[in-house]
């Protein structure tokens, strides 16, 4: 059984990491989030669960408007060619369903199968916003605290400049 939102908040508390959580209706896409999030400050993200041809797993975390080219991403992160991971594999490793993908899922990856890739540009925002293992809320956390959280779960993040940011409304 994967860790729950309560388990996540307890873990963050034990680390001394302060967060703020905003409740909202379930959100499944970046577009829904942009429409319904209201005035939640900070960097908002997209989170891609990927698998390469060698069966290595990656969670790519970037600003919501970052264009990520999957055909060239493998060269930036040192992997083989990438494709999206199956929902069953996402749940098995990070303990979340599609629509709730979050770096907080590292708490559930006790085997450390997933490499967490953070877009360098994302870390310029304060705070950063992610689902707390479920898509009915958004939890704000400082970038340095996110990195501390990932390290505490045994996931040393790979910080990479992923792509150019595109203006809102463009593909």
Tell me what pLDDT residue 32 has. Answer: 66
Q: What average pLDDT does this structure show over 83-91?
A: 97
Backbone angle region of 112, left / alpha / beta, with phi > 0 → left and psi within -120 to 50 → alpha: left
Cβ-Cβ contacts under 8 Å for 37 (sequence gap 6 or more) = 22, 24, 27, 44, 138
129 has a pLDDT exceeding 50? yes
**Mean pLDDT across the chain, nearest whole number?**
90
Cβ-contact 126, 142 below 8 angstroms = yes
pLDDT score at 47: 95
Bigger pLDDT: 31 or 73?
Answer: 73
pLDDT at 33: 66
pLDDT at residue number 27:
66
Ranges 43-57, 121-135, 152-166: which has the least confidence: 152-166
- pLDDT tier, 37 (very low <50, low <70, confident <90, very high otherwise): low
Q: Would the pLDDT of 124 be above 60?
A: yes
Distance CA 101, CA 134 (A): 8
Per-residue pLDDT band for 40 (boundaries 50, 70, 90) equals confident
Higher-confidence residue: 65 or 9? 9
How far apart, in whole angstroms, are the C-alpha atoms of residue 118 and residue 122?
7
Helix or strand run (H / E) with residue 118: strand 114-119
Instruction: State the pLDDT at residue 165.
Output: 47
pLDDT (0 to 100) of residue 170:
43
Residue count (the chain): 171
Residue 28 binned pLDDT confidence (cut-offs 50, 70, 90):
low
* Domains of the chain with bracketed CATH: 5-160 (3.90.960.10)
Hey, what long-range contacts does 147-152 have (CB within 8 A, 24 or more apart)?
A: 147/118, 148/15, 148/17, 149/11, 149/12, 149/15, 149/17, 149/103, 149/104, 149/106, 150/103, 150/106, 150/116, 152/11, 152/15
Per-residue pLDDT tens for 55-72?
Answer: 999 999 999 889 999 899
Q: What pLDDT was estimated at residue 158?
A: 97
CA dihedral 127, 1, 30, 67 (to 10 degrees): 80
């Amino acid at each position: 059984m994967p860790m729950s939102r309560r388990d996540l908040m307890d873990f963050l508390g034990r680390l001394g990491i302060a967060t703020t959580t905003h409740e909202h209706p379930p959100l499944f896409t970046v577009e829904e989030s942009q429409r319904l999030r209201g005035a939640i400050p900070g960097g908002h993200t997209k989170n891609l669960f990927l698998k390469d041809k060698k069966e290595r797993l990656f969670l790519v975390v970037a600003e919501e408007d970052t264009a990520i080219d999957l055909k060239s991403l493998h060269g930036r992160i040192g992997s083989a060619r990438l494709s999206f991971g199956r929902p069953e594999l996402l749940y098995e490793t990070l303990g979340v369903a599609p629509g709730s993908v979050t770096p907080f899922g590292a708490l559930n990856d006790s085997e450390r199968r997933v490499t967490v890739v953070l877009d360098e540009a994302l870390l310029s925002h304060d705070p950063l916003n992610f689902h707390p293992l479920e898509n009915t809320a958004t939890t704000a956390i400082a970038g340095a605290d996110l990195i501390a959280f990932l390290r505490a779960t045994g996931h040393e993040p790979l910080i990479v400049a992923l792509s150019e940011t595109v203006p809102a409304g463009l593909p």
